[in-house]
A = this chain, B = another copy of it.
């Protein structure tokens, strides 16, 4: 029974990787760099994007992943950022993550020729989004200080999957019983190669470094 289940999961991930490569070919053909942005629910991905997308030196768009609704897409669209909403609840069984096939279904709605950078804002979840490549060039995650220091130990695959960990909500540090050094040490245990940057998406502190990282990824690829 267990072996059958592992085989089903492996087959699904294998099919996903095939479609991810097809997405990647399409992105390459249009010279679009793609960043897969992940986090727990409410860690601040959208607020962070609101802060940085306007001031970017490259042309950026967003593919917004949610189980249902378009709350985050509406927020970004009001800033005149090109946004396409992808709901996992409509036709995809309410999945807790984006996969390559869902992203592929959104490609016809994306004006790739008008973009240098596409940020895919994944469904808020620290488990499954890390397992499904979608054709991205780089992966980043947002981890907020209100979530506690132990998250890299409890969800190591997510931290291991990302090149960059953005530690958000640092404006709240003085009001928490929170050991920032311990979080950074735990991130290093899960992923010694991860780049770490500190921000407050609410006050704007440190967001320039994330904006520079996004622009750097777009230029470097």
Are A93 and B6 neighbours in the complex by a CB distance under 8 Å?
Answer: yes
A91 and chain B: residue at smallest CB distance: B2
Taking a contact as CB atoms under 8 Å apart, the answer to whether B153 and A169 are in contact is no
Bound Cα distance A40, B146 (Å) = 12
State the number of copies, please.
2
In the complex, what residues of B have CB within 8 A of residue A96's CB?
A: 96, 125, 127-128
Interface of A is mostly: loop
Chain B neighbourhood of A123, CB < 8 A: 127
The answer to whether A42 and B157 touch across the interface, beta carbons within 8 angstroms, is: no
Distance (whole angstroms) from the CB of A193 to the closest CB of chain B: 20
Residues A155 and B202 in contact, CB atoms below 8 Å apart: no
Chain A residues packing against B (C-beta within 8 Å): 2, 5-6, 9, 40-42, 66-69, 71, 91, 93-96, 123-128, 131, 144, 146-148, 150-151, 153-157, 169, 171-172, 175-177, 202
